[in-house]
Amino acid sequence: MRVLQTKGEGLSKNTLYDKVWEKHIVGILPTGQTQIFVGRHLMHEVTSPQAFEMLRETKQKVKHPELTFATLDHVIPTKDVSRPFKDSEAELMTKTIEENVKEFGIEYFAPKSGKNGVCHVAFPEQGIIWPGQLVVCGDSHTCTYGAFGALAFGIGTTQVSHVLATQTMAMDKLKVKRVNFNGRLQNGTSAKDLALFLIKTLGVKGGVGFAFEFNGEAISNFSMEERMTLCNLAVECGARSGYVNPDETTFEYLKGKPKAPKEDFEKAVWYWKQMASGNDAEYDDVVELDASSIQPMITWGVNPEQAIPISEKTPSLENFIGKAKEELEDAFKYMGLTPNQSLEGLPVDVVFIGSCTNGRLSDLQQAAQILKGKKVKVKTLVVPGSEIVQKKAEELGLGKIFKDAGAEWRNPGCSLCLAMNPDRLEGTQRSASTSNRNFKGRQGSPTGRTHLMSPLTAAATAVEGKITDPRKFLK
């Protein structure tokens, strides 16, 4: 399947994707690509400075600053947040975004404003993301907002400059793959396990050329936070976007949020309902998966497809030859593991609970459920996704549970997910992480080893100091 060569002339009809795309079309460009209007443009400090510089060089303004929002998340320290930051590069990046938002009139969720946090946690909390919007951000995990029934895409910095200057960008339409999760998740499993199961099943290239539409009993029963975790990981499956049709759960979440519609709320709900895929919708592809059979999942290798149910062993190499075999051997070598090995009981050095995948309140509640009244055996970082999550967690006593367990209860930020801040692995440290990428070097050490898992599994692993099935603690 040479997926990238799709011309985007998919077969899908009357899906949410088709309807929302249609509403945002400005025109067809001379190159054949579509010029698409952007309803929400979100930004952070890493991928925006060069785009603002380009605006200055060409003497342009931001076309729709009122549709643009910014936060600081990647470089912010989670321990000592006093300014200036000790890391002079982080301080310069922070000053740069502060100057840019001021000069161009963009609303900025500054640290200590009560609204700051990791972009994909903080923006939804403010009610900025609605069903039927077309949302972009210079960040691949922008697909998170699909949880609201928005079309949301990660873009590069040059495209950020296009959106700043014109509120539009050039894009090809994706195909739509409907993914049905039948049945409900079992106790001890979560949206993270479901997402890792999806990536293992379809592969890291399984979604290239597609947007996913997630359907089925498991998804209907998901909270907004669980939907965000699932949609966040669509890009790890190669899909640039993944969404859930808006329903009462969506509307309930948005009601009363600071930037959600107020006097027009009923009108908004009517419009949002119109945007959902019709009963007669047609898809380019349909996949059926059984949610009730999913076990707690854990990655063993160096990409999120290299995952197994926690009770199973790492794959055997017998069925692989050539390049595929070499790549698996390389992954085992990097991870310090062997084929046919059980991961349960494998000692870890660090546990990280947080990130745009699993740094929301319900994630911390799940971790606290296991950590309550116990002690962690290894260095454990619990990092709230935002100041709001932090505040609510403290009000609910979760912060105390984490501290009493001996974990480090930090301030919000991207933290150990990608180590652009002081939180990082050292040497060949092995980490149990609720983040989204187990790539080589991802957590800051070029030889660091990452196992992705759910907050439940990470918490159980922290208590035992070795990889542990969380169901042991959930009788």
Partner 1 sequence: MESLKIQEKAIEKIVGKAIPKPSNDQNTDDIVPARYLKEITFAKMGNYAYFDERFKDGKEVKEHVFNQPAHKGAKVLIAGANYGCGSSREHAPQALKRFGIDAIIAESFAEIFAGNCASLGIVGVTVPAKEIAELAEIAELKPETIFEVDLSSKIVKAGDKTVGFEILEGRRQAFLNGTWDAMAILQHNQAGIQATAAKLPYLKLK
Q: Which of 105, 112, 403, 439 binds partner 1 (CB under 8 A)?
A: 439
From 119-127, 159-167, 280-288, 334-342, span contacting partner 1 (CB under 8 A) = 159-167
For position 103 contacting partner 1 by CB under 8 A, the verdict is: no
Q: Which of 14, 33, 180, 201 binds partner 1 (CB under 8 A)?
A: 33
For position 68 contacting partner 1 by CB under 8 A, the verdict is: no
Does residue 246 have a cis peptide bond before it, meaning omega lies within 30 degrees of 0?
A: no
For position 56 contacting partner 1 by CB under 8 A, the verdict is: no
CB of 141 to partner 1, least distance (A): 8
**Binders in 173-192 for partner 1, by CB under 8 A:** none
Q: Which of 93, 294, 378, 432 binds partner 1 (CB under 8 A)?
A: 93
Query: What is the radius of gyration, based on Cα positions, of the chain?
Result: 21
Q: Cβ(440)–Cβ(431) under 8 Å? A: no
From 121-129, 262-270, 280-288, 289-297, span contacting partner 1 (CB under 8 A) = 262-270
Select 176 or 371, whichever has its Cβ closest to partner 1: 176
Q: Which of 240, 360, 392, 466 binds partner 1 (CB under 8 A)?
A: 240
SS3 269: helix
For position 26 contacting partner 1 by CB under 8 A, the verdict is: yes
d(CA 38, CA 470): 42
Among candidates 190, 129, 122, 151, which has minimal Cα distance to 414? 122
Binding footprint of partner 1, residue count (CB under 8 A): 87
Q: Cβ(108)–Cβ(97) under 8 Å? A: yes
Site string for partner 1, 111-150 (x = CB under 8 A): -------------------x-xx----xxx-x--------
d(CA 243, CA 158): 25
For position 440 contacting partner 1 by CB under 8 A, the verdict is: yes
Select 69 or 181, whichever has its Cβ closest to partner 1: 69
**Beta carbons within 10 angstroms of residue 256's beta carbon:** 10
CB of 30 to partner 1, least distance (A): 4
Sheet harboring 175-182: ordered strands across?
241-244, 210-215, 175-182, 285-290
Kindly provide the b/e burial profile for residues 302-338, where b requires at least 16 CB atoms within 10 angstroms of the residue's own CB: bbbbbbbbbeeebbeeeeeeeeeeeebeebbebbebe
Helices H / strands E in the chain, number of each: 16, 19
Site string for partner 1, 269-288 (x = CB under 8 A): --x-----------------
**Binders in 340-369 for partner 1, by CB under 8 A:** none
Q: Which H or E element spans position 108?
A: strand 107-109
Select 3 or 286, whichever has its Cβ closest to partner 1: 3
Q: Which of 18, 19, 21, 24 binds partner 1 (CB under 8 A)?
A: 24
CB of 203 to partner 1, least distance (A): 9
CB of 124 to partner 1, least distance (A): 16
Select 202 or 456, whichever has its Cβ closest to partner 1: 202
Q: Which of 43, 75, 185, 198 binds partner 1 (CB under 8 A)?
A: 75
For position 315 contacting partner 1 by CB under 8 A, the verdict is: no
The label of the residue with tokens 């310069």 reads: 92
SS3 289: strand
For position 162 contacting partner 1 by CB under 8 A, the verdict is: yes
**Binders in 373-432 for partner 1, by CB under 8 A:** 418-420, 424
**Beta carbons within 10 angstroms of residue 8's beta carbon:** 14
Among candidates 161, 99, 56, 54, which has minimal Cα distance to 110? 99
d(CA 384, CA 70): 18
